[in-house]
Amino acid sequence: MYCKNCGKEIEEGTQYCPYCGISQNEINNISNKESNIWGVLSLIFGILGGLLGLVFGIVGLCTYKEKQNRLMCKVGIGIFIGWIVLFTFISIISIILFA
């Protein structure tokens, strides 16, 4: 058989390619399943209150087709919007209190 990553001939049934070290099963999983890096980033930055949460969420929504991944991006965007609402609310309160 041939390595799915580098294409060199390797022993039949070998799990890790001795040339590039890539798992022959892993490659299958990656190509079968969408990675959800944008959703994860969207969630992380959304929670941190960064504008990037919104950006990554939108990128994810444009990229992903799987329902679960899209949901994660929407949650990231939702958390970001939550922060904006909270921030606006706090700003208004402090303007009222300190003006």
- Residue 4 interacting with Zn ion (CB under 5 A): no
Least separation in angstroms between CB 2 and Zn ion: 9
Kindly list the distances between the CA atom of residue 10 and the CA atoms of 25, 26, 29, in Å, as whole numbers in the listed order: 14, 16, 20
Q: Which stretch binds Zn ion (CB under 5 A): 11-19, 29-37, 66-74, 77-85?
A: 11-19
3-state secondary structure of 89: helix
- Give how far Cα 12 sits from Cα of 6, 7, 41, Å: 15, 13, 38
Map residue 2 onto helix, strand or coil.
Answer: strand
With binding defined as CB under 5 A, does residue 20 bind Zn ion? yes
Contact stretch for Zn ion (CB under 5 A) within 10-18, 27-35, 61-69, 80-88: 10-18
Q: Give residues in contact with Zn ion (CB under 5 A).
A: 3, 5-6, 17, 19-20
